[in-house]
Structure 1
Amino acid sequence: MAHNFHVRLGAALITAVFLTGCATTDSGHDEKEEHGTQTQNPFEAMGKNLPQGKPVSYSKLAVGTCSNYWGEVTASQQIGTVDCTDPHLLEIVSKIVLKGDAKSPYPGQQELVNQTRTACEPTLEPVVAAARGTRIALYLMAYDKQSWAEGNRTGYCAVAYSSPTAGKVQQ
């Protein structure tokens, strides 16, 4: 009986380690503590001492763009971009456009996360798997009711690094 318990415990630990290595960030939102204060985001803390770069409109971001920005994004926002040869926290690996015309009703945040994850997974999975534990899948989504009503359907699939990294993930 004890052997069975240890096998199950070992399997649970391996699963937990595997899932941690495959962690996916659905958004750049900081988690809130029960008291309503924000916890420190490790990516945000790493990015404080890195150059914020040249501001580029969210809609003008492109595959291969690198950035040290971390946090919520809006469709009208400027995102600082840096040369990928310099240390950076993330790199955009693909651009997606969700289905729906300007008259499509806002499907809700969770549905947009699901659609974005589904659209990004084929591109991100091999990139993240190639360096498990040092890369995390990241979705840049500027979807809210207002931007959705204005016709924004653009999102980005990006790789976030566990520490500032110089160089491009895709050559």
Structure 2
Amino acid sequence: MTEEKERLVLDNLRLAGYMAQKYKSTGIDFDELISISYMGLVKAANSYQPERGKFSSLACQTIYRDIMYCIRKRKHSIHCISLDSERCNRDGDSYPLQEILGTEDPDIRRLDNTGLYEEMISCLNRKERLAVELVVVRGEKQRTAAEQMGISQSYVSGLCKTGLEKMRRIYFA
């Protein structure tokens, strides 16, 4: 690391600490947030180009992105429950979760849900329908769907979210 980059990092350590402090309530250990922030600061210093703007702006965005990545990664692992984990019933007997949930009824797969799907998808506008069909039904990545539709990936994400919410309302109505 050059002296100039080292100076940028040292001059902005408080900024990294401030960014870590903002996300203290996310459940991630504060020391880990500090580490992520410092790593983001170094990453920002390595990619900084003075003609493109202030270093602090780049550093904030880089640190924010790194912290959000860590939060998303942790969020996924928090929601995963092992089917082998034990659960207790009212009598105090413990059983593996897989045994409690049982197996899938093969007759369920045979049900024809085409009419329900058509009813749910018909409530969506053209863009929502296309986004849901590309991403959810066909399993394409949001970025690929965005390129096909000529819009941004974040817009595709929003269209899928609102479209699926409308479909849920019809399904549970």
Classify the TM-score, shorter chain: under 0.3
Answer 1 or 2: which has greater strand percent.
1
Question: If the length of structure 1 is used for normalisation, what is the TM-score?
Answer: 0.25
Higher helix share: 2
Tell me: higher relative CO, structure 1 or 2? Use CA pairs within 8 A at least 6 residues apart: 1
